[in-house]
Amino acid sequence: QLYSTIGWHPTEAGSYSQEIEDMIVSQLDNPKVVALGEIGLDYYWMEDPKEVQIEVFKRQIGLSKKYNLPFVVHTRDALEDTYDVIKEVGVGPRGGIMHSYSGSLEMAQKFVDLGMMISFSGVVTFKKALDVQEAAQKLPLDRILVETDAPYLAPVPKRGRENRTGYTRYVVDKIAELRGLTSEEVARATYDNAMRIFGLND
């Protein structure tokens, strides 16, 4: 029941090469590989210059389109540039996912308008994450996902501990509370959304 994404992370952008790209491409027809990712921009760690990260990000969005897979985006302190790159390159018919989203509703809506889905991690349960909570509350239900990001970002009430995949239930509970739905309804909707974007069947 395990599936994988494969991609070259932005904190490693400087070591991207044709050889790496060939290695990634060689895995893309594996039925267990369901997306290109994590790809994106990380200006927090800034291991490589912006221009290098942007180039590697663009190349891999291109691969996702060429091989007809969705892509999963990691972005940190780089939301505006991330938006500009995705808009410029364009989202393929399989769409893409903003992983562990931590921006505003307004920005999330712009990504949704480009054809992206928005994925929420434990961050949505954090007391001060009001922006993220508003996004989780108001985005269309058919455009949101939940995720673990384990071992990081454990949700309240497990915040600060090593995260576990099972704790994703607290993310679901929080979104249900925000939207006035039952946890079962949010679990069902996000499950269906994940199956749809990754091209999996029940």
- Number of residues in the chain: 202
147 contributes a contact to Zn ion by CB under 5 A? no
78 contributes a contact to Zn ion by CB under 5 A? no
Stretch that binds Zn ion, among 15-23, 73-81, 123-131, 137-145 (CB under 5 A): 73-81
Q: Give the integer Cα–Cα distance in Å for 39 and 11.
A: 9
E strand intervals along 12-56: 33-42
E strand intervals along the chain: 4-6, 33-42, 71-76, 96-98, 116-120, 144-146
Stretch that binds Zn ion, among 18-26, 67-75, 85-93, 130-138 (CB under 5 A): 67-75
**Using CB atoms within 10 A of its CB, is residue 81 exposed (0-12), middle (13-18) or buried (19+)?**
middle
Site map for Zn ion, 13-42, x if CB under 5 A? -------------------------x----
* Minimum CB–partner distance for residue 40 and Zn ion (Å): 8
174 contributes a contact to Zn ion by CB under 5 A? no
74 contributes a contact to Zn ion by CB under 5 A? yes
Q: Give the integer Cα–Cα distance in Å for 144 and 48.
A: 31
143 contributes a contact to Zn ion by CB under 5 A? no
In the complex, the residues that contact Zn ion under the rule CB under 5 A are 38, 74
